[in-house]
Structure 1
Amino acid sequence: MNDTQRALSDLTERYCDAWRRHNGCGPYSEALLGIPSPCTVSQDERGVFWLPQPFSIRPGLDAVERAIDIQLQEDAQNFYSTQFAGDMQVSLDGRAITLLQTWSEDDFRRVQENLIGHLVMQRRLKQTPTVFLATTEDDMEIVSLSNLTGEVILEKPGTAQRIILAPTLALFLSLLVPIVC
């Protein structure tokens, strides 16, 4: 395991532990009801209880790299192919963030398609490439990994506005605080 994989695994463990302490069970999602995943532990009429599972397919974002002829940061590769899990609600310095995760093999293919679209848009706008990692409460902002520097940034897609949140993805993940409802 490298630093990014270890930090993501540690965050996921902290997230699941926070759910158990607060709710007496693992993470729960209404949004994922009815979507097959190896993460599903059980479900009720409103949602699914889930736990992370090892990534079971060939790791990496090769399809993205081939589609737009780019080499992505190793941290981006590791972030999206360390585990299957539900998205995680976290905060950084009081800012609510939804950390994106791949839920299943089908979801991994969808994520790659969305990454291709994101990178193609940036290329058309002559912006430096980023790989999205999370959403925020502001629909106009996302958290991304700079493909040039490896920094984690807050960006407004389609604009040049970028704020550095952490110098590395591993550090960013280690700073996140789970939010449990």
Structure 2
Amino acid sequence: MALTISEQLTKFVSSYVEEAKSEGLKIVFDSDWPSPCYQEAAEDGDFVRWKPTLQTPKLSFDNVEEAMSLKLHPDYCSYFTAYYSDNLKAKAPKGNCELLQVFNHEDFERLQQNLIGHLLMKQRLKQAPTLFFGLTDEEDFILTVVNDSGEVALEQVGREPTQILAPSLADFLAQLTPITR
């Protein structure tokens, strides 16, 4: 039986943390960018241990849905409202990618603003709404969720998606191998 998006994301995050266990996940500490992900206090500029941390309380896309008069795909909402985390690098069947995450509440607000900008561009171009969640090694190509179907697509910025990569976000995550170095 297929896992839900929440279960599959938790499985990927757990494997990501496990993959990094020997060296640990490290990030540059920035006191102006606080996050529950930091595992220790440090001076600005020092490397510190971090790990993905469950959001409590969970964040919400209600304001984006209201502003855009659009119901966002529930898998997309679940994906970004599960963890606070730095972006997660992964190997996919068609190449490497970087899964966008939110590091703190301010980062979530920035994500929402960028998503509104993306959706407005799609409207202006008279294209179906897509929801970005990842970057690829190819410049100008992003990973998106097709809002109407929940399919994961490869999309060149400003164009319709060119290729369906998976029938759902959970199925896409199931194909990934963490890259922690």
In structure 1, distance between residues paired with 2:154 and 2:96: 12
Q: Does residue 119 of the first structure (1) align with residue 119 of the second (2)?
A: yes
DSSP 3-state at the match of 1:164: strand
In structure 2, distance between residues paired with 1:138 and 1:176: 17
Q: Does residue 14 of the first structure (1) align with residue 15 of the second (2)?
A: yes
Checking the alignment, whether the CA contact within 8 Å between 2:150 and 2:169 is kept in structure 1 is yes
**CA offset at residue 136 of structure 1?**
1.0
Q: How many residues align?
A: 176
| Residues 54-133 of structure 1 mapped to structure 2, 5 A cutoff | 54-93=54-93, 95-133=95-133
Q: TM-score, normalised by structure 1?
A: 0.90
Q: What are the Cα deviations for residues 72-112 of structure 1, in whole angstroms up to 9, with x where unaligned?
A: 11001101101111110101015110100111111111111
Identity %: 32
Checking the alignment, whether the CA contact within 8 Å between 1:4 and 1:75 is kept in structure 2 is yes
In structure 2, distance between residues paired with 1:170 and 1:84: 18
- What stretches of structure 2 of length at least 5 have no aligned partner? none
Residues 87 and 115 of structure 1: CA distance in aligned 2, closer, same or farther (over 3 Å) = same
- What stretches of structure 1 of length at least 5 have no aligned partner? none
**CA offset at residue 49 of structure 1?**
2.0
**What letter is aligned with 1:19?**
A
What residue is the counterpart of 1:170 in the other structure?
170
CA RMSD of aligned residues (A): 1.7
What residue is the counterpart of 1:145 in the other structure?
145
Q: TM-score, normalised by structure 2?
A: 0.90
In structure 1, distance between residues paired with 2:145 and 2:27: 26
Checking the alignment, whether the CA contact within 8 Å between 1:60 and 1:78 is kept in structure 2 is no
Regions of 4+ moved over 6 Å: none
Residues 122 and 94 of structure 1: CA distance in aligned 2, closer, same or farther (over 3 Å) = closer
Q: What are the Cα deviations for residues 35-93 of structure 1, in whole angstroms up to 9, with x where unaligned?
A: 21011113574433211111123433111111111001100110110111111010101
Q: What are the Cα deviations for residues 3-37 of structure 1, in whole angstroms up to 9, with x where unaligned?
A: 0011111100100100114x2x2x2234x644210
